[in-house]
Amino acid sequence: MSREEITFSQAVMLAEARARQVLRSKFPKDASDVFEKYIVEDRNFWLFFRNREIPVPEFPNGEVADICAFAVGKHGLVLTVKDNFNDKEKLEEQIKGLSGHFVVQDK
C-alpha cells in the first residue's frame, strides 16, 4: 500500500525545515523568500534551491553550506543534495538520478 502524495505547500514546508536545519541561518519568515523562484518539479519530486541572497555559514572544516539544494519526494522523503543550479548539464543528470531514487525510496 503506498502513501498518499503530499501537496506542493507541504513540500515547501519540509524543504524549508531542512534548509533551516542544514544552513543554520536566520531565514526570512516568509518561506517564499527562502528559495529561488526557479523550482524543479518532476513527476516524483520537487527540487528547491537556496535563495542566493541569504547568507550561509561556513562550517569549522571550511566547507560552505551553499552547495546544497533540497529535494522533496511526492510522498514526503526529504534529501539534501548538491546544488547544480548554475550547471544545466549536471542539473539534468541530477534530475534523472533523483527521479529514479524517489521511485524506489519514497513510497
Q: Which residue has cell 524517489?
A: 102
> For 30-60, what is each residue's pLDDT tens digit?
555 788 999 999 999 999 998 888 766 666 6
Q: Is 3 inside a domain boundary?
A: no
Q: Is 77 inside a domain boundary?
A: yes
**Domains held by the chain: number:** 1
Q: Is 18 inside a domain boundary?
A: yes
- The model's pTM: 0.84
The HSE-up count of residue 13 (CA atoms within 13 Å, CB side) is: 6
CB 91 within 8 A of CB 84: yes
Spatial distance between the Cα atoms of 95 and 90, rounded to a whole number of angstroms: 9
Q: Is 100 inside a domain boundary?
A: yes
In the three-class reduction of DSSP (H, G, I as helix; E, B as strand; rest coil), residue 22 is classed as: helix
Spatial distance between the Cα atoms of 47 and 101, rounded to a whole number of angstroms: 13
Spatial distance between the Cα atoms of 71 and 46, rounded to a whole number of angstroms: 6
**Domain range for 49:** 8-105
Q: Is 2 inside a domain boundary?
A: no
> For 81-99, what is each residue's pLDDT tens digit?
999 999 999 999 999 999 9
Q: Is 1 inside a domain boundary?
A: no
